[in-house]
Amino acid sequence: MLTKCTFAPSNKTIHCAVSGGADSVALLVLAAAHSADVIAWHVDHGLRDGSANEAQIVQEIALALGAKFESRTVVVETGSNLEARAREARFAVLPTDVVTGHTADDQAETVLVNLLRGAGMRGMSGMQGGPSHPILQLRRNDTVALCDALGITVFHDPSNDDERFQRNRIRHEVLPLLQSISQRDVVSVIARQAELVRDDDALLDELASAIDPTDAKAIAAAPQALARRALRMWLAHPYPPDLATVERVLCVARGETPGCDIGGGRQVKRSQQRLKIIALF
């Protein structure tokens, strides 16, 4: 199983995000088998009863594996867009080089989520493999089997069954339906397609990076595919923009409208042939 992983060299410190679920615990197990210097990072969002106990259990698992342990607590208010806000709060307190336990199943879900968002080729390429996602080639049943074989009890987050969240419906409804229709392992098919798209995506990125996304005339004159990509790269933080947002900014670049909202309390405005991101608050 370790041969499928893409960890950084074994002489590097590996910071693992560990929630206590099977995927993140398997990540920690494999990281500890690969490197002598591993730190498990656990974030308590305070969103459910018993979360403090989970931190204690993750610490015990980490120490048993010879890894160090760090815990952080964040406050996430309940309400709309909870998943995204929890993720943002989590990564705000984690090291920038933290690695996560995303698997091929997560990759397939991510591609479908991005497809529904209209996120373009970048979204269809899914998550980048390599040291930041070292177990991306493993399957979810691999991580469960590894934890079972080692006798490690993992947590099941009940929010993963909440059908109010789009990703959960994709996991529990859409992917099984696609599997039934195609009679194929659709997770592997989608993950492979993501790899192929990523190769094409890298070439287009290289071409688009030569375009100044703040130069309205250059954006308006560029081939539409490259103009969209240059804008998408410019607007990628904190989250990649959807197609509708990119199209609105294209209209600003062409002079069809003086400005537009791009979400997150921000606007893009055109002034003297330059595009600028303006914070509204």
Q: Please give the torsion angle defined by the CA atoms of residues 155, 158, 163 and 166, in that order, rounded to the nearest 10 degrees.
A: -50
Q: 86-102 burial by CB neighbour count: b if 16+ within 10 A, else e? A: beebbbeebeeebbbbb
Crossing angle of helices 22-34 and 51-64, in 10° steps, is 20
Task: For residue 19, say whether it is annotated as part of any ligand binding site.
Answer: yes
CB distance 19 to 44 below 8 Å: no
Task: For residue 22, say whether it is annotated as part of any ligand binding site.
Answer: yes
Q: Which of 64, 229, 40, 220 is nearest to 152 (CA)?
A: 64
Task: For residue 20, say whether it is annotated as part of any ligand binding site.
Answer: yes
Q: What is the DSSP letter of 170?
A: I
Round to whole Å and give the CA distance between 10 and 217.
Answer: 48
Q: Which of 113, 92, 76, 78 is nearest to 17 (CA)?
A: 92
Task: For residue 279, say whether it is annotated as part of any ligand binding site.
Answer: no
Q: How far is CA 64 from CA 10, 15, 69, 134, 225, in A?
A: 19, 16, 11, 21, 51
| Cis ω for the linkage preceding 158 (within 30 of 0) | no
* Geometric angle at alpha carbon 132, from 125 and 93, rounded to 5°: 115
Round to whole Å and give the CA distance between 31 and 25.
Answer: 10
Q: How far is CA 150 from CA 19, 141, 154, in A?
A: 18, 14, 11
CB distance 280 to 267 below 8 Å: yes
Which residues are documented as binding site for ATP? 19-24
**Binding-site annotation, residues:** 19-24
